[in-house]
Amino acid sequence: MLPIQRYDVNKFRLVGIIAGLKENRALIIDPLGKGYVVKVGMSVGSNQGKIVRITASAVEVLEQFSDDNGKIRKRTVRLTLSQKGKESVR
């Protein structure tokens, strides 16, 4: 398991968006303060999350998990930039 897959997605903090010509990337920080530059398609979080979208102010992660009845469920977790970290690198 990669370090970026050890924590629940909600434990990560989005601190920056890097707007690119072809695709955006984002800088997220784990609970221990380690930073990761991520892009669409990368795995993140402990619930088999995949980054599906990076906008100018948020990262969307699609997670799959089993509910109490054993059914596979999907949910989208959205990490948003904090107001003080609104600097966008272009």
CATH topology of domain 3-81: SH3 type barrels. (2.30.30)
67 CB-near residues (< 8 Å, 6+ apart): 73
Contact criterion met (CB below 8 Å) for 59 and 16:
no
pLDDT digits (tens, 9 = 90+) for 5-48: 999 999 999 999 999 889 999 999 999 999 999 999 999 999 99
pTM of the entire structure?
0.84
Please, which residues bridge with residue 51 across strands?
61
Q: Where are the domains of the chain?
A: 3-81
